[in-house]
């Protein structure tokens, strides 16, 4: 039961352009969403989060948008840098639960 889906396994963009990573979820009880970045041979690192009471959260080059009616969130990276090349995981949690569900990840490659 894949409650969090990242339908694009990979994405390639040019340095300086925008990267848009997408995530869909099915569980309407999810009320907190996070993005993690993972480099090879390392554990995932927290990037940015958003609560369901908001529709946008921005942190530097990273912005997460949440569309609750569509059960969709996206991560925008502007401008993209080669160092952003990594696997990005979307995750979701419900406040009355104690677990977090992750998507399968999207591998972002930023070309110089």
Partner 1 sequence: DSGVTQTPKHLITATGQRVTLRCSPRSGDLSVYWYQQSLDQGLQFLIHYYNGEERAKGNILERFSAQQFPDLHSELNLSSLELGDSALYFCASSRRSGTYEQYFGPGTRLTVT
The one segment of 17-25, 40-48, 53-61, 62-70 that binds partner 1 by CB under 8 A? 40-48
Site for partner 1 contains 32 (CB under 8 A): yes
Site for partner 1 contains 26 (CB under 8 A): no
48, 49, 78, 108 from 59: Cα distances, Å: 7, 10, 11, 19
Q: Identify the residue among 34, 75, 77, 108 touching partner 1 (CB under 8 A).
A: 34
Q: Identify the residue among 57, 61, 65, 102 touching partner 1 (CB under 8 A).
A: 102
Q: Indicate left, alpha or beta for 16 from its phi (over 0: left) and psi (-120 to 50: alpha).
A: left
Q: Identify the residue among 10, 17, 28, 46 touching partner 1 (CB under 8 A).
A: 46
CB contact at 8 A, 28 and 42: no
Asked if the bond preceding 69 is cis, omega within 30° of 0, the reply is no
Minimal distance in Å, beta carbon 99 to partner 1?
Answer: 4
Tell me how crowded residue 80 is: count the other CB atoms within 10 A of its CB.
Answer: 23
Q: Which residues would be at the binding site for partner 1 (CB under 8 A)?
A: 4, 6, 31-32, 34, 36, 41-46, 49, 89, 91, 93-95, 97-105
């Amino acid at each position: 039961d894949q409650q969090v889906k990242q339908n694009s396994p990979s994405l390639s963009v040019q340095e300086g352009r925008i990267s848009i990573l997408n995530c869909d979820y099915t569980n309407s009880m999810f009320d907190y969403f996070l993005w993690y970045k993972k480099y090879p041979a390392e554990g995932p690192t927290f990037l940015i989060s958003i609560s369901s009471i908001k529709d946008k959260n921005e942190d530097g080059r990273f912005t997460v948008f949440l569309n609750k009616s569509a059960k969709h969130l996206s991560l925008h990276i502007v401008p993209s840098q080669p160092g952003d090349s990594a696997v990005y995981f979307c995750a979701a949690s419900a406040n009355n639960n104690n677990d977090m569900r992750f998507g399968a990840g999207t591998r972002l490659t930023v070309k110089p």
